[in-house]
Structure 1
């Protein structure tokens, strides 16, 4: 029986890494280990990335590969996470940087260890090579057909299965897992230093970034520190080297970018008539929204570490009684206003969590002095940002056309336009 095909509208479509490239990667970058097997995640799983699972074994002899640093195990499982075709090197930089930040400031939270990455599929950087056998940078010889992606990350594979697949857990166990999750989220919101800028992480480049690094990573960074800055917003395609300093500026840039897509991308001609109304809102209404200005607060470092996709599919559990054994998919994580994690739960991941479990999660966060939409974040602020996020989503709805066509596509665009206009009215 043949494997099901990836739908052509998904980012993973036609994105692959050849078996010989995986073999070359291990042999070239990690000569002290042996590749035992590699397999691809089922086609119907994942969306933004193509995932490969690798099993490796340490070779006999002196020295130790960085892959086996901190463990006596003879074998280890790894994950090769390959960017979908709509993403670029900045997504690789962001997830590598976020995982390094968490490892340095919250080492008790179970997250993958970055072992190596490539921004183009050929030039490979090792996170923390074991000298002298392993080098910081190696080059792979690959064909043009093996470059149909935006880079990849090689990382450790964490134990456990996604919470979304744990159908046999009773309610008491699920509530306990939510308490564990709240403890971890509270940890990164308080232990990772808050930042003065909004956005994701980029590798610091003196020629592009005038300022000093926002983070200097010394753990799992190799012989030289990894310098990082907070710049740009991946989910909104804001690829910029200048800082975003306020929530008003953040939403202005987001909406301007979406408006540009609406006016230039032929996928969105159905709703192009909305452009003048959107432009008027950006110019006249958005700068005057008090609820948005209040999010900035009085602190100059008011943007906290945010996972940005804290869904059951990204929470791994294992053991008896079940415990959280891993949190994964930090590809869109970054530094945002404290409300933004909850905002993405309510809009981007709407319906992912059963209501009673999510309320338990919020209660536990509140008990740990983290402001939430149910306690600490004002109703006016929550309602305003919720409406704003609905507006941003529907200016150039990324999920369309997707699998829709004909009358069904017309209906979806009409639905999107109605939602956009309803939320604009609420904000005006």
Structure 2
């Protein structure tokens, strides 16, 4: 980490000062979610009695959470992550369970954080926000040094990432979903945010019926080779959910850590391709989003070489093939369809307050949704 990656939280700063000068978001998941020096000390004292906070720093990264580095007087260091306001303690529960599964599968290949304490037990919640206190892993985020590496060093990183991916993929689970089962379902009020996509509701309802009947899968299986059809039967597997370079820690060209399992779960193993590996141009992008498709076309020669190398290592060494071809393509379309139907990236503002960029993003999402429904026969 460089000095630009963190901001020191003064021990003397009160909440009013911090909100005015540091925690200034007017919208989004982190609005109103923050930690003072005194609150951090209380967390450490509760979960690690005897620890004394020396310095608290705020990581200037992320969107869904607010993350801090707590340095203690005995030179030990811990990461404190506050969950964004659009989620509750179930996301914390999910990550705790995901880390346990990942740690077992990864063995000594790469480290994942050790959980020190959480807010899962609501009766022992030290502060008002949901949080995780965890060990700090060595290394720096891969995205901060990737461009400075030689092609040979990048290939060494890719070798390690392929093995990590294969080990996580080997975890087979009996059911689909995240690792927290709840009887209650909580809905967010949209305030008319999704008016552009609501016009497609009748076609979406038709699509749901087609999926439930099995007709959609049969239709696309009939268009493909026998090899592609065989891939459909893969089991539910562990997926990280955000396998990007910002969540990979390195020392030199050695991968030493993997972070952020908050959206991990048991899903069809191919779905990892839709939610990760953008940094290698390997993500299964929305085929109807011109911007994303143009990005794929912009790959340089070295990037193409790395992508080919990554896919070859996965196939030849680990028996994993890239997802999104032949009959599998319709699953990529379905994945991006549900994103465009209710865009997670649309911030919590009324439609009349949208920026030009937000309006354009919604127009793009609606256009992609229309084309996806047509592709799926609805």
1:341, distance to aligned residue in structure 2 (A): 0.7
Aligned-partner Cα distance in 1 for 2:200–2:133: 43
Aligned-partner Cα distance in 2 for 1:91–1:24: 22
Maintained 8 Å contact 1:261/1:396: no
Tell me whether 394-403 or 45-54 shows the greater mean CA deviation. 394-403
1:391, distance to aligned residue in structure 2 (A): 1.1
Matches within 5 A, 1:21-420: 21-42=39-60, 45-58=61-74, 75-108=75-108, 109-119=110-120, 123=124, 140=126, 142=127, 147=128, 149=129, 151-166=130-145, 167-190=147-170, 192=171, 194-202=172-180, 231=181, 240=183, 265-284=191-210, 287=213, 288-290=215-217, 302-319=235-252, 322-345=253-276, 346=283, 354-373=303-322, 379-400=325-346, 405=354, 409-420=358-369
Aligned-partner Cα distance in 2 for 1:401–1:36: 35
Q: 1:334 to 1:368 in 2, by over 3 A?
A: farther
Q: 1:10 to 1:295 in 2, by over 3 A?
A: farther
Q: 1:172 to 1:332 in 2, by over 3 A?
A: same
Aligned-partner Cα distance in 2 for 1:359–1:241: 44
| TM-score, normalised relative to structure 2 | 0.76
Maintained 8 Å contact 2:115/2:134: yes
Aligned-partner Cα distance in 2 for 1:4–1:356: 42
Tell me whether 406-415 or 378-387 shows the greater mean CA deviation. 406-415
1:79, distance to aligned residue in structure 2 (A): 0.3
Q: 1:54 to 1:270 in 2, by over 3 A?
A: same
Structure 2 stretches lacking a partner, 5+ long = 1-6, 8-19, 222-228, 277-282, 287-291
Q: 1:399 to 1:289 in 2, by over 3 A?
A: same
1:6, distance to aligned residue in structure 2 (A): 4.5
Match for residue 20 of structure 1 among 28, 38, 44:
38
Maintained 8 Å contact 2:106/2:167: yes
Structure 1 stretches lacking a partner, 5+ long = 59-74, 125-139, 203-230, 232-238, 243-256
SS of 1:309's equivalent?
A: coil
Maintained 8 Å contact 1:304/1:338: yes
Tell me whether 163-172 or 404-413 shows the greater mean CA deviation. 404-413
C-alpha RMSD of the superposition: 3.2
Whichever structure has more helix as a proportion of its residues is: 2
